Structure 1
Amino acid sequence: MERTFWTDGEVLRTEPPAGPGAARAVESVVDGGRLVPGLVDAHTHPGAEEPEDGFDGAAPQRHLEAHRDAGVLLVRTPGTMERMPGWVDAAPELPRARSAGRWPATPGRFFPGVGRNLSEEQLPGAAVAEATASSGWCKVIGDWRRDEPAVPLEIMTEAVAAVYAVGGRVAVHRTAEGSRNAVLAGADSLGHGRHLAPALLNLKAHQGTAYVPTLGASAGSAEVWRGRERSPKRSARLEGWTGMVANVRAAHEAGVTALARTDTFPCGTVAAEIRQLLDAALPAGEAVGAASWAARSWLGLPGLTAGAPADLVAYDQDPVAHPEVLEHPVRIVLRGRVVR
C-alpha cells in the first residue's frame, strides 16, 4: 500500500505540515521503496563484550552506534554490568533504549562476580530496585545450569509480583526448570529457552509472556558442542538447541509473541537473527515483525501511525518478501533526522 508520511520534529505525521512557509520546509528523504518502523534488538548488552571485561563507560555509545547504522533504532538491554547511563535513551544520535539495570542473581546462578550476588530472600527487593532505577525493566537469572536447581517458584512469583506492584516488567534468563517457574510466575519475557517444555506455550500465549530465543548465538555454541566427545553435557546442550529451534515454530502456532535478539557481539546483527528465525520456520512476516513492528508494539511504541516516533528504515524492496535487503537499508531516520 502506498502511503506518505511527514516528520514533525521527532514525531511521525500522516498529514503535511501547515502554516506559512511550511511547504518550503519540506524535504523528501525517501521516495519509493518500502518503509518499516525502526528495527528492534530485544536483547543486547552494550557496554561490555565479555562479562569478565567489566563495564566500559565509553562502550555503550560505540555499540549503540553500530546498532543504529544497521537500522536498529530501539534496543532492550536486559541486564548490564552497571546500570545503563541515563543519557543513553535521550541521546539524539543513538537508538532509544529500554534498560533493565544490573542482573539480580542468586548464588551459583550466574558468572562469578557479575551482577548482584544475592540470597534468594533478597531477590524480590533487588528486582524492584533495579526496575525502578532503570526504565522499568529488571532481568532475573532464573537458572544457570540444567543440573542445578532453579530459583524456587515461590521466590520467582514473589519477585514478579513485587516488580508489577511498582509498575515494572520482568525478563527472566532461563534454560530448564527456570523456564517453568518463570512462566508460572507470570514473567513478561523469557530469554534463551533451551529445554522449554512445549506444554507451557499455551500459558505463555494466554498471559502475554514473550519468547526471546537467541538462535544465532546458540547455533554457534551448538556447532562447538557437536565437535566434542560424547558426554551427558554435550547431549544436553545439543538437545537444548534442537528444542529451541522447534519451539520457535510451536510458539508461533500457540500465539506466543516472538522477539528477535542478538545477545552477542558485534552489535548491529539483528538481520542475521531474523534469518535464523526464518530457518526455524517462523513465517516471514512474523520473523521481520519480531525485529520491527511487533517488537515495538510489545515494548509500548507504535509503528507507522500518526504520532509515532519518527524512527524509520527504508529498503528498496519489501523485507518480508526479500529478507536479504535487511542487510542494506537505503535510508535510516532516527528521531526525525536522517542518519544514513
Structure 2
Amino acid sequence: MVIQVRGVVLPERVERTFAIDGDRLRADPVPGADLVVDGGWLLPGLVDAHTHPGTESTDQPFSDEMLRKHLLGHRDAGVLLVRTPGSAARIPDWVDAAEDLPRVRSAGRWLATPGRFFPGFGRDVSEADLVAAAVEEARASSGWCKVIGDWRPDEPAVPLELLTAVVAAVHADGGRVAVHCQTGDGCRNAVLAGADSLEHGMHLDPGLIDRMAAQGTAYVPTLSVFGAGADRRRAEEPSARRDWWLAGWDGMLPNVAAAHEAGVTLLAGTDSFPTGTVASEIGWLLKAGLPAEAALGAASWSARSWLGLPGLVDGGPADLVAYDSDPTLDPSVLSRPARIILRGRVVA
C-alpha cells in the first residue's frame, strides 16, 4: 500500500509531498494515497554516530536481546540510523534484515593494544598484529574499524607510525578508521595519521583543527557523556587525574565551536545509556555555540550524508521523523516526534 507524507522538509525549508512506495521516497504524489503526515516539519531520520548497543557495562556480556532492546530505544526516539564505532562483539547479520530496527553502520570489535582498554572487553591485539586486525574488522563490519588510540593519561598512546600504518592499510582496502582518543598525544596521533573520525577528542590541540578540516577527519565529541559527569568530577578531592579530566572537559566546548568554524564535520554521538538520547547531544552542541541547523544536521542530514545515505529526496530511503513545530526554533520538540517512519513503515 502506498502512503504519503506532506510537510516542510529540513534543511531545505520547502514544503513537499512524498509518496512512499516500499522503502523508497517518491517525489510524485499518488492520488488517493493515505496521507499519514499532513503538515509540520519533516527531518531525515535522526542519527546517533557514536553508540554501543548490545551491552551496558564491562562485566556484562554482549547479547542479541540487549542489542535489540537498545536499537528499539533508538528507533522510538526517532533515531533511524546508528553508527556503532566498536563493540564487544561484531553486530550480527540479522540486524540488517530486521525491518523494525534502525539501520546500523558498525566497526566490528574494539581493537585494543596492551594496557589501552578494559581487558577482554574488545579484541585484544598486540601492536605487531594491529594493522592486520584493523583490516579484518573493517572487512567484517560496515567497512569501519575502531582503534583505541590511547587510554590513561599516564600511559603512552598508540605510536604515530603504527596508527599511520593502520589508516593506510584500511584505506587501501576501502575501509575507514575511527580512533578513540582522550589524551593530547592520542588526539595528535589520530589526526596526523589521517583517521576518518576522532571519537571524544578530549585534550585535542586546537592547532590541529584546520588539519582535520583539510583532510576530512570528522569530530564526534560525545559531549553529553562528559557533561553528565562534570559536576561530579568538580566535587571530587583534588588530584592529578581529576585536574587532567577537568582541563580536558573545559577545552571541549571551545574546540567544538572552533571545529565548526573551520569546517570540520561534527557528528552527534551519545556513547551512553539509556539509548535514544541524541537530543541531549544536540543540546550540548548548541551550548558549544553551533547554529541550530548545524547542531541538528549533526544528528540528521549531515550525519546521514557522511555515512553514505541521502536525506529526503526522490529515491532516497523512506526514513523520516515528523514534528509539529520547527526543531531548530524549539529543540524540545525533538523529544516528541509526531510520526516516525522507518523503511517505509509507520512505527510510531
TM-score normalized with structure 1 length:
0.97
Give the Cα separation in 2 of the matches to 1:97 and 1:248: 25
| Other structure's SS at 1:171 match | strand
Q: Within 5 A, what are the aligned runs for 1:1-340?
A: 1-17=14-30, 23-24=31-32, 26-176=33-183, 177-340=185-348
Give the Cα separation in 1 of the matches to 2:227 and 2:28: 45
Q: Report the Cα offset of residue 307 of structure 1.
A: 1.1
1:10 aligned partner, one-letter code: D
Contact 1:211 1:258 survives alignment (8 Å)? yes
Once the two structures are superposed, residues 209-229 of structure 1 have per-residue CA deviations (whole angstroms, 9 ceiling, x without a partner) of: 110011111012222210111
Q: Report the Cα offset of residue 258 of structure 1.
A: 0.5
Segments of 5+ residues of structure 1 without an aligned counterpart are 18-22
TM-score normalized with structure 2 length:
0.94
Give the Cα separation in 2 of the matches to 1:189 and 1:209: 5
Contact 2:17 2:29 survives alignment (8 Å)? no
Q: Report the Cα offset of residue 16 of structure 1.
A: 2.6
Once the two structures are superposed, residues 101-138 of structure 1 have per-residue CA deviations (whole angstroms, 9 ceiling, x without a partner) of: 10111000001221111111110100011000011111
Segments of 5+ residues of structure 2 without an aligned counterpart are 1-13
Once the two structures are superposed, residues 41-88 of structure 1 have per-residue CA deviations (whole angstroms, 9 ceiling, x without a partner) of: 001111001122121221111100000000000000111111011111
Contact 2:219 2:265 survives alignment (8 Å)? yes
Greater share of strand: 2
Contact 2:167 2:193 survives alignment (8 Å)? yes
**C-alpha root-mean-square deviation of aligned residues, in Å?**
0.9
Q: Report the Cα offset of residue 282 of structure 1.
A: 1.2
Give the Cα separation in 1 of the matches to 2:22 and 2:121: 40
2:197 aligned partner, one-letter code: S
Q: Point out 4+ residue stretches in structure 1 off by more than 3 angstroms.
A: none
Once the two structures are superposed, residues 276-320 of structure 1 have per-residue CA deviations (whole angstroms, 9 ceiling, x without a partner) of: 111111111110000000000111100011111000000001111
Q: Report the Cα offset of residue 204 of structure 1.
A: 0.4
| Other structure's SS at 1:32 match | strand
Contact 1:169 1:188 survives alignment (8 Å)? yes
Once the two structures are superposed, residues 253-277 of structure 1 have per-residue CA deviations (whole angstroms, 9 ceiling, x without a partner) of: 1110110001010000001111111
Contact 1:77 1:100 survives alignment (8 Å)? yes
| Other structure's SS at 2:199 match | strand
Give the Cα separation in 2 of the matches to 1:124 and 1:41: 27
| Other structure's SS at 1:29 match | strand
Q: Percent identity, please.
A: 65
| Other structure's SS at 2:227 match | helix
Give the number of equivalent residue pairs. Answer: 334
Match of residue 20 from structure 1: none
